[in-house]
Each structure stands twice: as structure tokens, then as C-alpha cells.
Amino acid sequence: MTKSFHIESPCTAIQAAIDHKINHKTKPLGALGRLEKIAAQICLIQQTTSPVLQSPTLVIFAADHGIAQEGVSPYSQDVTHQMVRNYLQGGAAVNVFARQNGLDLLVVDAGVNHDFGQITGLINAKIGFGTRSYLHEPAMSINQCSKAIEQGAEIVASLAHKGSNVVGFGEMGIGNTSSSAIIMSLLTDFPLEQCTGRGAGLDDEGLERKRKLLAEGMRRHHSARTPLEFLTTFGGFEIAMMVGAYLEAAAHRMVILVDGFIASAAFLVASELHPAITSYAIFSHQSDEQGHQRLLQHLGAEPLLKLDMRLGEGTGVALAYPLVQAAVNFMNEMASFESAGVSQIQEH
Amino acid sequence: MTKSFHIESPCTAIQAAIDHKINHKTKPLGALGRLEKIAAQICLIQQTTSPVLQSPTLVIFAADHGIAQEGVSPYSQDVTHQMVRNYLQGGAAVNVFARQNGLDLLVVDAGVNHDFGQITGLINAKIGFGTRSYLHEPAMSINQCSKAIEQGAEIVASLAHKGSNVVGFGEMGIGNTSSSAIIMSLLTDFPLEQCTGRGAGLDDEGLERKRKLLAEGMRRHHSARTPLEFLTTFGGFEIAMMVGAYLEAAAHRMVILVDGFIASAAFLVASELHPAITSYAIFSHQSDEQGHQRLLQHLGAEPLLKLDMRLGEGTGVALAYPLVQAAVNFMNEMASFESAGVSQIQEH
């Protein structure tokens, strides 16, 4: 990787002040549960006891996968570019939820196998017309992987410069649960079978075929060793771009919202490269996709939502955002025992 | 109970049309998980495939409990009226979350042991200055219980007449996890110990004392038999008022958002009186209070959120509301495969 990232965990000197403020709000100690932890995390990231979320932005990276043509998904590869148009027209689930909850939505062509021509609203960061099939050769070249990481970083740097301090990433790419399953298995030592799920809706037979194909792909490239080699060999352009986006967001000390299975696999790669990134991450939801629960456990992550969803796109990020906003709002808006004249717990 | 309620489950003739609309949205079948079930439920309640949520309202019922003076809470009874003032001044957690998520907030004095005098914004439905202690006598008289149910119904009827079609209920009352634990134990056959938790923050010793006191209270009134007798003997004015509010909301075919442990105990009483009420209920969150998980299982309820919270006030309702709104929004705003020109799943 040519681009380097400077990522540090936040300084914890402010922790006592944060805890004091939370514990003097008009509620029993700890009664806001997870929201208190999220509030404390954001305060640490922003080094303040009065945090602010500015210009929340959700970036969807879309790309195609050579493996999709081997029969790992019940959907045709065309669905990737069709869904990109759907995002641009505002008709997908993520559009509805981002609109409702006040997140800006950016759509990035990271490498869709389609010529969009002149099309309004699409960010062109195309690395290629889809990856190659790792049943035959590495999904991408080292140069392509580096370029994807740089592009992802550039997009986030531009958001940071415009004042955004909270960002989440979604993805679209028929075949990308396959890449994620292999990358997860290689980086966590969970057996491939436990990492491989039904994706967009495989039946039992399809799932069996997917598992066999992925195992074959892994055997073919057994010399890959490092996180970046795994990403290059089995990844997708959208996944690599997301890795760069995560790293740049942490370098800018932004709050990072992690979506579902694919987004978590990309996060896993980023966290292997720079473990300190974890301090900046809030996990939005646990997907129904096989493997995601284990992946979250591996990452030590507690997702905010568990709604049996398995859609990707950043839908988990968009739906969880009001909870993140609520954590910030109670820090800023709730009265303290003193200010409200409410008695604290009695000593016995 | 003098007041009668006419509550019917929604007609299911429209179910196929609802399922068709959900299944043709641009997403894999079932990929929105719980949100699809919530959407279908609201469609059924409103008998439409294009549901609308109007004037969402959260009503907080506050009242005091004789049992509080026996030492079942680490907080003094004064905290009830102090927190009522906090709600009226906008400084409590529920104020912050309701404001953020666009719910109107009403605060009702159901029977606080305090004379508020002239005070702006408080709905006066006071049944008495707190209940009596059920260590010595029934918490309220049959007349008081009936009156509380009627008052709760009246408040909701007025909301329905003003056009609100989605309502949730919160509560405040030092000592009210005790009432809820006994009522839960009597109506579910779970042993009292499994229903009794730390409330606003008892330590081990305090919890032990609370359990002994509640067991003593139950022994003293072993002749109580029916849900209404349980409510009269062990309930609180805010709990009884909430029972009436639930029943009236279901009679008006409103969407009902159920909050945490106390709100669920009140719902349990209401559902024993009119089982059809369950069709109208969405359970917002699972509290960290001991007993709530079992109570939700008993009710067959799947809560939307599990955030380790234990605050009451309706905070779970206010935080879950954007998910309910999201369910309605995807039904109305998401494109279908046909309208977006997206290919459906391939036949094998």
C-alpha cells in the first residue's frame, strides 16, 4: 500500500469529566445503557463533553465481482448497475432511511461492470469493469487495490474538509458476500463454512454450491498471507475502497458507523492494518447473514440494532443513526440533578 | 370495571395485498426483517397498503406508591414530583428523545403525592395523593381503580379525536417496579423472585429486602383473583390509567407503542381483559430490569431495541419510534422491481 495513514486512539485524559457529566444527568446511574457508552465514545473521539454531529454522510460504494458469473448469487450481475440507478433515483431502502434520518447519501461507482455514460449524481471512481474471478486469478492487481484504497480515502478526506464529522459506508455488488466470507475466514480462522451464508437469498442447494466454489478459490490462492494480499486476491473494488475510507475517516477523527456483513469484513481488514481505528467505530446492526454475528464478536463489537435485516446498502447505518444522535443529544440537552432540583440516590 | 371497551382484531382480508407490496420492493425477499413485520402490522391495523402515522404522541402517567415508604427504592418518593417538573421543563431523557424524534409529549398527574398548585402543562387527572401500602391494605379502592382506567381512556380518546393514530405510554412513580413485579408474577405464574429487580438501582441487600416485602404483600392479599383485583390491590394509579389508555387506543385502532417493564405489566393486565389488543401493539425495547425479558416472552413480544436501558418514562418508545416510521416509509417510498427496472431473482 503506497498511501500511509496516521491513526491514533483518542487521549483518555478527559474520561473522568465525561463520566462525571453522564452520571449527574437526571436518571439512575447507568440507566441509559448502551447510549451512555456511545455518548462517552463520541466525547472521547471529539475530546469534549459537549459533542456535536455535523453533516452525517453515508457513502455507498458499488462494484462488480468476477465470481458472480460462477453462480454464487441468485441475482444476475446486472442488478448491481440497476440498483445504482435506483439509488440515484431515490427509490432504494437506503434512500428512504437516509432521507428520513437526515443523512446525506453519496453513490460511488467503485468498479461496476457497466458504462453509465453521462449520469447525474454518481461519483466516478471506477477502478475497472468488475474484478476477475478468483477461481482463476487474483480478483485485482496490487495497483488496483492500492488505487481503490486511495480513492476511498480521497472521498472521505473531501467530506472531512467540508465539515462532516460522522460517516458511514454502504455497499452494493452482486457476489460481495462471497469475498467477505473468504476474507473473514482468512483473518479470523473461523472455518469458511461458518462465514458463508445465503447472501441475497440462496436456497440450500445454492448455498452448498457457493461454499464449494469459495473453498476452491481459497485453495487456488493459498500463498496469500497478509491482509492486503487477501484483499487483493479475494476482495472487490467496493471493499478495498471502503478500507481506504475507514482508515481516512479514523485519521480525521471522524465518528465511523459500520454497517453489515460486507462493511464489517472491510472494517476487519482496516483494523488489521491499523488497530486504533476501533476507537472510532460504532457498529450499527447485526445482519441476519450467516457469519456476521461471529465477525462482530471477533471484533469485540456490540451492534446497536438486531432487526433480522440482510440488505446491505448502508441500511443499518441509516436506521441506527437516530440512536447515535440520541446519545449526543442527551449529553447536551438533559438536565443534571443539580440544575433540575431532583434528589439523588439516598445513602443507607 | 364500569367502562366497557369494544376491541376487535383487524380484518386479515387485506393480508395478501400487503405481502405482495412488500415482496415487490427492490430488495431480496424478507431482507428488511423486523421492519417488514412492523410494516405489515401497521397496514393491517390501518387496513391499507399505504399506511400513515399521524401526530405520534407519548403520554407519561406519574403517580406515587404507598409501598415506596417501606424501603423498596433507593430514591425518596419526592423524586416522583421532582421528575414531573423536570418533564414539564423539558430536561429529562424522554424530553430529549421525544423532541428529537418528533413525538408530542403529554405529562399526566395520575396521583402524585404532591400538590402542584397552578402549573402549566400538567394534565390533572389525580386520583389521590399516592396509593396506600399493600403491606397493610389494598393500594386503591375499586372505585379509584375504575376511575383511573376511565381517565386513561378519556385522555386517549381526546388524542384520537384530534387525529393522532399512534400513541405510546411512559410512567414515573418511585416504587412502581414493585407493583409491576407482583402483578406480573400473579398473571404469569413466574415466581416473584424472577419478576423482581433492582428498579432504579438497588444494591444486593436492597433487592433482598424488596423481595421479602413484596412476598409479604402478596401473602397478605391472597384472596385477590382477577386481573382487576390484582390491579386494585397492588397497582398504582399510573398503571391503572395506562391500562385504560391501552384499551381505548386499541378501541380506536391506533398503533400502540409499549415501553419497558412497568408499561409491559400494565399491557399484560389490559391484554388479560381484552386479548385482541395485542394486534395493535409494537414493543419498543427490552429493559435491563429483571423480569422484563420473561414478561415479553410471555406476551409473545419481540422488542425492537435492546439497549440495556432501565429508565422508563417512555424513553424506549421515543427511541424506537424512528424504526416504526422507517417501516411505514419504506412501504410508501421504496421503488418496486417493476418501477425501478431492477431484475428479480433468477429461476434455476
Interchain CB distance below 8 Å, B305 and A305: yes
CA-CA distance, A272 to A227, in Å (whole number)? 7
CA-CA distance, B41 to B301, in Å (whole number)? 13
Confidence of residue B346 (pLDDT cuts 50, 70, 90): low
pLDDT tens for residues A271-281?
999 999 999 99
CA-CA distance, A295 to A292, in Å (whole number)? 5
pLDDT tens for residues A79-94?
999 999 999 999 999 9
| ipTM of the complex, rounded to two decimals | 0.97
Rounded average pLDDT over A28-47: 98
| Of residues A52, A28, A27, A25, the one with CA closest to residue A325 | A52
Cβ(A151)–Cβ(A247) below 8 Å? no
The residues in A 30-89 lying below 8 A from B, measured between CB atoms, are 30-35, 74-76, 78-79, 82-83, 85-86, 89
Cβ(B307)–Cβ(B320) below 8 Å? no
Which residues lie below 8 Å from residue A135, measured CB to CB, with a gap of 6+? A67, A70, A213, A216, A217, A220
CA-CA distance, B324 to B42, in Å (whole number)? 9
Cβ(A128)–Cβ(A140) below 8 Å? yes
Cβ(A92)–Cβ(A86) below 8 Å? yes
Res A346: pLDDT: 65
Which residues lie below 8 Å from residue A189, measured CB to CB, with a gap of 6+? none
Q: Using the predicted structure, report yes or no on whether residue A157 has a pLDDT greater than 90.
A: yes
* DSSP assignments along A240-273, one per residue: HHHHHHHHHHHHTT-EEEE-SHHHHHHHHHHHHH
Q: Using the predicted structure, report yes or no on whether residue B347 has a pLDDT greater than 80.
A: no
Backbone angles phi, psi at A332, to 5 degrees: -90, -30
Q: Using the predicted structure, report yes or no on whether residue B348 has a pLDDT greater than 60.
A: no
Cβ(A153)–Cβ(A245) below 8 Å? yes
CA-CA distance, B54 to B75, in Å (whole number)? 37
**Does the global pTM surpass 0.95?**
yes
pLDDT tens for residues A178-220?
999 999 999 998 999 999 999 989 999 999 999 999 999 999 9
| Of residues B345, B324, B335, the one with CA closest to residue B36 | B324
Cβ(B292)–Cβ(B260) below 8 Å? yes
Interchain CB distance below 8 Å, A97 and B341: no
Q: Which three cell numbers stand for residue B244?
A: 385504560
- What is the Cα Rg of chain A in Å? 21
Q: Which helix (H) or strand (E) holds A282?
A: strand A281-283
Q: Which of B150, B208, B313, B338 is catalytic?
A: B313
Q: Using the predicted structure, report yes or no on whether residue A122 has a pLDDT greater than 90.
A: yes
A/B interface, count of CB pairs below 8 Å = 195
Backbone angles phi, psi at B225, to 5 degrees: -130, -40
B96 close contact with A: CB closer than 8 A:
yes
Burial class of residue B295 (count of CB atoms within 10 Å of its CB; 0-12, 13-18, 19+): buried
DSSP structure class, residue B226: S
Cβ(A203)–Cβ(A288) below 8 Å? no
SS3 of residue A145 by DSSP: helix
Q: Cα angle at B228 between B223 and B233, to 5 degrees?
A: 55
Mean pLDDT (chain A) is 96
Sheet with B281-283, side-by-side order of all strands:
B122-124, B104-111, B57-63, B166-172, B255-258, B281-283
Could you give the residue numbers annotated as active site of A? Answer: 313
Q: Using the predicted structure, report yes or no on whether residue A118 has a pLDDT greater than 50.
A: yes
Interchain CB distance below 8 Å, B91 and A326: no
A265 close contact with B: CB closer than 8 A:
no
Which of B78, B307, B343 lies at the smallest CB-CB distance from A82? Answer: B343
Confidence of residue A348 (pLDDT cuts 50, 70, 90): very low
For A2-7, the CB contacts below 8 A with 24+ separation are: A2/A146, A2/A150, A3/A146, A3/A149, A3/A150, A3/A153, A3/A244, A5/A153, A5/A247, A5/A248, A5/A250, A5/A251, A5/A273, A5/A274, A6/A251, A7/A247, A7/A250, A7/A251, A7/A274, A7/A276, A7/A277
Concerning whether B313 is annotated as a catalytic residue, the answer is: yes
- The helix, strand and coil proportions of chain B, stated in percent and rounded to the nearest 5, come to 50, 10, 40
CA B160 from chain centre, in angstroms, equals: 17
- Between B118 and B269, residue with greater pLDDT: B269
Confidence of residue A318 (pLDDT cuts 50, 70, 90): very high
Res A1: pLDDT: 63
Q: Which three cell numbers stand for residue A291?
A: 457469519
